[in-house]
A = this chain, B = another copy of it.
Amino acid sequence: MGIPERKEREKEQRREEIINAAQKVFFEKGLQAATMDEIAEAAELSKGTLYLYYKSKEDLYLAVMMRGIEILHNMFAEATSSQEPTVVQLMKLGDAYYEFFKQHRNYFRMFYFFQHPQFHKGVSEDMMMNCGEENQKVWKEVIGVIQRGIDEGVVRAELNPVETAVILWSSSNAIMTRMDTQMEYFKERMGVDLEEVLRKSNTLMLESILTEKAKRKHQALLMRSWPVAKVAVN
């Protein structure tokens, strides 16, 4: 009897189709402005049907977001699986996050939007758990490289790898979040190009966690952020 299996497949397909529709609408309008009626329309289903497949608007939002987490996870896994030195991989991790920001900004936006507990109301336990798991995998990638750096003696031994991961991630994240929302404000009011700031911040952070030996070895790499003229003048 293959009927239950087929039904299960069809159900899963429906769930995917609904996510596709939801993604389209959420990307365009954001969680707030998107309406379930719009999503239903995009999915060519009635609103009631959406609720047969997802508990709430927020659950649906998280379902879309999970795709983004997976993409990011893959990009990080890619960056940390090369044969290059750990210091280079650390730089590549930062670059990868910025690439993700540029190529998948809608997902990035969802990430930081959903951090607010205000929107966790309608989220089911299940979905929250799944999301936490996926998220954890991404962290593991970052922590792993830092731990390796410590083991190899290129990252300062007195640093805690998890804490350090949080520090690196947070600083990158904070600046990209600003890039997303306040790029123009910072350019016009403060004369600052946030892309430049991100580059310099990543370099500063990296410098600050490396051992003296590693810094000397990769000096050329670290210098890329500082304008030659300025260094020369001072």
Contacts and interface: CB of A to CB of B under 8 A. Distances in A.
Interface of A: 30-33, 113, 115-119, 132, 136, 139, 157-160, 162-163, 166-167, 170-171, 173-175, 177-178, 181-182, 185-186, 189-192, 194, 196-197, 200-201, 204-205, 207-209, 226-227, 230-231, 234
Contacts of A234: 157-158
Given A162-B190, A166-B175, A166-B186, 9 more contacts: A30-B118, A31-B118, A33-B118, A116-B181, A139-B190, A162-B192, A171-B201, A204-B209, A207-B208
A127 to B, nearest CB: 15
A234 B156 CA distance: 9
Contacts of A190: 139, 162, 166
A166 B182 contact: no
Each complex incorporates copies of this chain amounting to 2
A116 B113 contact: yes
A207 to B, nearest CB: 6
Contacts of A227: 158
B201 A204 contact: no
A201 B162 CA distance: 12
A30 B120 CA distance: 13
